[in-house]
Chain A
């Protein structure tokens, strides 16, 4: 999957968690938590959603690498690299 594909998937998972959000306006470099008002339950659902969509099991110690959309995409691309 390309980086764009990963980005689109991440946005789609976020869309399920924050259905009222304007995903087109999400900035890549600002913490997602602040832009979308996510709490710890939302973040857990986000990780579960990413796992379901991309088959990547994200351990708790890596949650800190998912702070921004850009960071998420980079992390997931790295995990999915052959």
Chain B
């Protein structure tokens, strides 16, 4: 069960998309998992043959739990080293290496996984007393939906009877706003406790960028028009290459600069809630590609279908509150990242050019960063780089 957010401790396996015997390639979607961020498509980070499914649909297991065994089908591959489900689960300590091919979890655990939820050995089903199991069959109760009250989290007969007496639950909503709010609360509280933030803001003249954008959009078909936000995202992705310590992951006592720029984009969800999935290698995408990626990401964030790598891989996040009309936004760094960039609304304001006051479209770019990793001087260089890049939009 991958960690799809710094504060995630468990997830529910909803469905398998592959069956034992199927060949899987790196990047394939292998399963759907439900978390507080909604229904997520889990990608496989190793290629091979799916040998055995360990966790069945409906089971909620802690992060780090082995979900399935993938056999490396390279020449003469040895059997997978992963243990059978009865043995202790994979609760590996943080490791800089890529996970072994046996575990489809693409992320090394960044926080110590919490103890098993129900007392059952992770990787196995919930523990159910024989009486309860028979009653569940007889009464047509889905055991995955029964709250266990027995010692060690065992599902007892009365638990099943109680579940049977309830009217059938409405289809489980994909997103529970209050649970998402709790998740966000936990992550933000932790960020404020652990990360010594410093804050910088810089005002940027956007008239060149907007003039270029208007001309560009006039010649593009409607389906390929660019939003101003895309220009801002690209500028951030390129600028962070100049100050790479802002683009990385905190590893307990130091930052590990990331190999690529995977820009987390804060997306507000209709009905409340927030998610910040990554656009991978945003610095290498042309503006049109970046726009398409952003549009697709927003669509999937709001309707379901985000991928596990999009949730686990952001190396720096951008948040834009421009729509709501506020001037500046100082975000909270989302651990284990070490920086977040906020943009306010692009609005006509007074500016001075050659000694005279003129009206220009201005935007406030703000950096909130982890002071264990960078100092204001470096953070300042980053914002100045963003400004410089936005004065030459044709080169973005």
Chain A residues at the B interface, C-beta cutoff of 8 Å: 18-20, 37, 39-41, 44-45, 47-48, 51, 57-60
A37 near B270 with CB under 8 A, answer yes
Residue of A nearest to B214 (CB): A60
B210-253 to A contact mask, C-beta < 8 Å, 1/0 = 00001001100111010111000000000000000000000000
A18-B270, A60-B217 known; A41 and B222 CB under 8 Å?
Answer: no
A41 near B227 with CB under 8 A, answer yes
A44 near B225 with CB under 8 A, answer yes
Residue of B nearest to A58 (CB): B222
Residue of B nearest to A57 (CB): B222
Interface centre among A39, A40, A44, A59 (most CB of B within 10 A): A39
Of A20, A37, A58, A60, the contact of B218 (CB 8 Å cutoff): A60
A40 to B346, CA, bound (A): 12
Does B271 sit within 8 A of A, measured CB to CB? yes
- What are the 5 tightest A-B residue pairs by CB atom distance, in nearest-first order? A39-B323, A51-B222, A60-B217, A41-B298, A40-B227
Of B268, B270, B295, B322, the contact of A20 (CB 8 Å cutoff): B270
Of B217, B222, B323, the contact of A40 (CB 8 Å cutoff): B323
Of B218, B229, B298, the contact of A59 (CB 8 Å cutoff): B218
A-B contact count (CB 8 A): 34
Contacts of B323 in A (CB 8 A): 39-40
Of B214, B218, B227, the contact of A44 (CB 8 Å cutoff): B227
Contacts of B227 in A (CB 8 A): 40-41, 44
Contacts of B229 in A (CB 8 A): 40-41
B270 near A41 with CB under 8 A, answer no
A41 to B228, CA, bound (A): 10
A48 near B270 with CB under 8 A, answer no
Contacts of B217 in A (CB 8 A): 60
A45 to B296, CA, bound (A): 11
A37 to B323, CA, bound (A): 10
Contacts of B222 in A (CB 8 A): 47-48, 51, 57-58
A1 to B212, CA, bound (A): 36
A41 near B295 with CB under 8 A, answer yes
Q: What's the least CB distance linking A31 to chain B, in Å?
A: 13
Contacts of B295 in A (CB 8 A): 41, 44-45
Interface centre among B218, B223, B270, B295 (most CB of A within 10 A): B270
A60 to B295, CA, bound (A): 18
Complex A-B: 16 CB contacts under 8 Å: A18-B270, A19-B270, A37-B270, A39-B268, A39-B323, A40-B229, A40-B322, A41-B294, A41-B298, A44-B225, A44-B295, A48-B222, A48-B223, A60-B214, A60-B217, A60-B225
Contacts of B225 in A (CB 8 A): 44, 60
